[in-house]
Chain A
């Protein structure tokens, strides 16, 4: 295989606005993550005991779902970016299949999370039960809202690919939607070990 010269692109993928959103979300969640970590220090036994009520297997499956859906999104963007004039129909349809697969996995994530919330609330646990559950519910419900919005965005991207709405030169909307989904994935990648594993 010929060795290619690596030339860095001058701008990142997606719209400028999506990067503002990405950075705002990173700062917001970052503060919550650090708040959790330092509150844990002050209430070590409470956090360790409360954490035992969480289902690590569900958290693990949810991580796999988000990682795999992110992979599918990358494949969808690749299909669009590598299309030629002759392959516009085929590439959009292939991208729509990848997007639909990601939507299914994202929906599974939401269903699993709702099951987890209903189990937690069924035990009489609320935001005011203790500091651990205040952080747990705040973080996971806030993230849940982001995944829900992400699924809605993916559905819109899917509909646009079904109508052959993207070309390799005109796919900024797709890239921006994809970035939002990867952000949701990145946040969960930090949230999972912090809340479910570290003790």
Chain B
């Protein structure tokens, strides 16, 4: 589905407000960190697809920034959730 740029901006703004409220209201918890990381992935993917314009080009060009985003956020999640003894 092709979204309008205005809708993309609205979603990015809403997800940013969500992230801010988690921190500002001190609601951040072990469970909500994964929700925050998923919302960060969604934001990054929207920027890659609609702002950078990679949704309209062949997958081989779009996949690299997406893989970067998945890898970095996964490594952050691993660092957060691994029990201390494993480190």
Q: Do A and B come from one complex?
A: yes
> A residues near B, CB below 8 A?
8-13, 22-23, 26-27, 30, 33-34, 37-38, 40-42, 56-57, 59-60, 63-64, 67-68, 70-71, 73-75, 78, 175, 179, 182-183, 185-186, 189-190, 192-194, 196-199
Q: What are the residues of chain B within 8 A of A41 when measuring CB–CB?
A: 79-80, 82, 84, 87
> B residues near A, CB below 8 A?
5-6, 8-9, 12-13, 16-17, 19-20, 22-24, 28, 33, 36-37, 40, 43-44, 47-48, 50-54, 56-59, 61-62, 64-65, 68-69, 71-73, 75-76, 79-80, 82, 84, 87
Q: What are the residues of chain B within 8 A of A11 when measuring CB–CB?
A: 57, 61
Q: B68: shortest Cβ distance to chain A, in Å? A: 5
Q: What are the residues of chain B within 8 A of A64 when measuring CB–CB?
A: 13, 16
Tell which of A12, A56, A183 touches B61, judged by Cβ atoms closer than 8 Å: A12
Q: What are the residues of chain A within 8 A of B58 when measuring CB–CB?
A: 8-10
Inter-subunit contact B20/A186 (CB<8 Å): no
Inter-subunit contact A185/B47 (CB<8 Å): yes
Inter-subunit contact A33/B61 (CB<8 Å): no
Query: With the chains together, A106 CA to B14 CA distance in Å?
Result: 20
Inter-subunit contact A198/B82 (CB<8 Å): no
Query: With the chains together, A33 CA to B76 CA distance in Å?
Result: 8
Query: With the chains together, A70 CA to B52 CA distance in Å?
Result: 9
Tell which of A26, A74, A190, A194 touches B51, judged by Cβ atoms closer than 8 Å: A74
